[in-house]
Chains A and B, each alone.
Chain A
Amino acid sequence: MKEPRLDDERLSALLAGRLEGPERDELLAHLSTADEDLEVFAHTAAILREMEEEDAREDRGVREEGPGTKAPPPPPPETLVPSMSRSTRGWPRKTPRWAVLSAVAGLVVLGWLVWPRSGAPDVTPLRLAMDVGDAGPGLPFDASRPSQGIPGESTRGEGASDASPESAARAGAFLVRLALAVQERDSAATATLALQAQQRFDPQGGRALQDIHARAGDPTAELQPLLEQATERLEDRLDADYLRVGAWTEAARLAARQRNAAFFRSPDGESMLGFAEGLTEDDGRAREAVAAVRRQLPRDGRADWVALETELDAMLDAFAS
């Protein structure tokens, strides 16, 4: 027997938010069992939202950035290739050229050692911070409370132990923020993050983090090697895979907040999601979170930034708490 079809105007009244209470519930009850009507309802909703977003973009004169439920901030300048340029801009002009080159070479070699190419994307917190930083000046988080928003920070002391994968993921998130603070030469945020990271993840040692805390006002070029040492040490003490996933996820969250489309054009994103997926065999929640992020990745220059940011929040939450 053919299922009874809903009148198109009743369906559109539901979509237009004109129905309430028992009338609305009755229609929803019908939709929950009527395949054809549900399909029409679903397609109409999606088409209406697309048209509304296109109209809104046209009104704002925005050519790219994609849909969102609120007007995004002015689009950041986009770069195609992440470069060392932001970090060099932060170095004092008096630094001899040979010192710059040797520091760069040292970072590259250290980065290669810290993040061996064992099938995982070769990204470091420092490199991720550069990708995020390419979107424009300023820290993409509250400098006065630099660790706010990292899972577990509000329940410090109640979470998993130091050596847990969750702790490693949190450490990765911390390192990205620290790298950004160093890059931006925000000495207050640098000092706070370095101290917090040392207390939480390496309370018995953490010499490099202690040094960063003590020298938070020093030039970026002098702090970045310390940052690489800190990363290497934390990778040795904690679960390196989860640290890597936590770092990328935090960087992606901050990039989504900035509407930084360039960050997501890097193939590292897909590689990292695949790598993260490989860690989720026994963790359905984390697996779903990774899949949800993948669904929201920008495509063809379009992104639902609010949705992406929220899914990245959920992914970091799944790995880090």
Chain B
Amino acid sequence: MSDRLNAEAVFIEHLAVIERAAAKAGRRYNLWGDDAEDFVAWVKMKLLEDDYAVFHKFRGESNWKTYITTVIVRHASSYSRERQGRWRPSAEAARRGPPAPELEMLVRHYGYPLSQAGEKLRTSGATTLSDTELARLLQALPERGPMRPVRVPAEPVLEAAQAPSRADARLARAESDAWRGELTATLHRALERLTPDERVIVRLYYGEELTVADIARALDIEQKPLYRRIPRLRDALRGYLEEQGISAGKVRSLLTREDP
């Protein structure tokens, strides 16, 4: 009983931190408006579950704030996946960077009208672009099909399978897939040549697009040397890829391929 009271006291004492972390986590996982509020409420309920089980699991290997933030982010990840399916921004949206992925998700996934999406983005500080500018941006992004399978009549599929021009396109796509597979395997080999620290730095910077300051914080390392270290790592990877016959031009042509 006293354990429960202690856990409850800790929960109440840190409620502000919990709510802040939950709000930020929701934002990072593209949960907007009502979804974001629902998530904050939901994660607080999760923390209360089984008599504050999460709190009792804390072994003291870390500090409390970092621990609870990690738990909340983990919950945000699964909550978002559950709600959004496997939505990922299109390659074009990812290439353009914010607010393109967010805009794409709000309009093409959630179905918000452009004006509402624009208002949400501006209110949250994600952009200062006008609706006209956002409309122009949205026009540049590819149309996306629904994430869940839909029933497709067989005849068009068969016709597509038989048309020679479609066959050429499929062949080109197959070649592109093979090339992409080769590139991925080579990139993996390139990364294997780095130390674990270096691999994580590369993935955080280029994959997760963390700032250098965030990477330094995450790995508890000096920030300033990272500004030189990251380009050196990039150059080392590029050098290896070029030795294996993979040039920037080839990679660029792959990346501009349309999403399925």
Binding site for B on A (CB under 8 A): 8-13, 15-18, 25-26, 28-29, 31-32, 36, 38-51, 67, 69, 284-285, 288, 295-296, 300, 304, 306-307, 310-311, 314
A38, B214: Cβ atoms closer than 8 Å: no
A38, B223: Cβ atoms closer than 8 Å: no
Choice from B58, B70, B212, B234 contacting A11 with Cβ under 8 Å: B70
Interface residues on B, range: 35 or more
Q: Which of A25, A49, A304 neighbours the largest number of chain B CB atoms within 10 Å of its CB?
A: A49
CB of B211 within 8 A of chain A? yes
B218, A12: Cβ atoms closer than 8 Å: no
Chain A residue nearest in CB terms to B125: A300
In the bound complex, residues from chain A placing their C-beta under 8 Å from that of B67 are 8-9, 12
A45, B210: Cβ atoms closer than 8 Å: yes
Q: Which of A10, A41, A44 neighbours the largest number of chain B CB atoms within 10 Å of its CB?
A: A44
Report the minimal beta-carbon distance from A82 to chain B, rounded to whole angstroms. Answer: 21
Q: A9-B61, A32-B199 are in contact. Are A40 and B73 (CB under 8 A)?
A: yes
In the bound complex, residues from chain B placing their C-beta under 8 Å from that of A29 are 196, 199
| CB contacts between A and B, total, < 8 Å | 139
Chief secondary structure at chain A's binding surface: helix
Report the minimal beta-carbon distance from A92 to chain B, rounded to whole angstroms. Answer: 43
Report the minimal beta-carbon distance from B88 to chain A, rounded to whole angstroms. Answer: 12
CB of B258 within 8 A of chain A? no
A28, B77: Cβ atoms closer than 8 Å: no
A38, B203: Cβ atoms closer than 8 Å: yes
Report the minimal beta-carbon distance from B76 to chain A, rounded to whole angstroms. Answer: 8
Q: A15-B218, A28-B196, A29-B196 are in contact. Are A47 and B25 (CB under 8 A)?
A: yes
B211, A40: Cβ atoms closer than 8 Å: no
CB of B136 within 8 A of chain A? no
Bits for B11-42, please: 1 = Cβ < 8 Å to A, else 0.
00000010011001100110000000000000
Q: A38-B204, A42-B210, A48-B217 are in contact. Are A15 and B70 (CB under 8 A)?
A: yes
A310, B224: Cβ atoms closer than 8 Å: yes
- Subset of 13 A-B contacts with CB under 8 Å: A9-B58, A9-B59, A12-B67, A15-B218, A32-B196, A38-B207, A42-B214, A44-B218, A45-B218, A46-B210, A46-B214, A285-B231, A310-B224
A43, B227: Cβ atoms closer than 8 Å: no
Q: Which of B77, B212, B248 neighbours the largest number of chain A CB atoms within 10 Å of its CB?
A: B212
Choice from A9, A15, A314 contacting B227 with Cβ under 8 Å: A314
Beyond A47-B24, A48-B65, 5 extra complex contacts between A and B, CB < 8 Å: A8-B70, A9-B70, A32-B200, A49-B213, A69-B216
Give bound CA distance, A117 to B37, whole Å: 50
Give bound CA distance, A310 to B59, whole Å: 39
Q: Which of B62, B70, B76, B210 neighbours the largest number of chain A CB atoms within 10 Å of its CB?
A: B70
Report the minimal beta-carbon distance from A115 to chain B, rounded to whole angstroms. Answer: 28
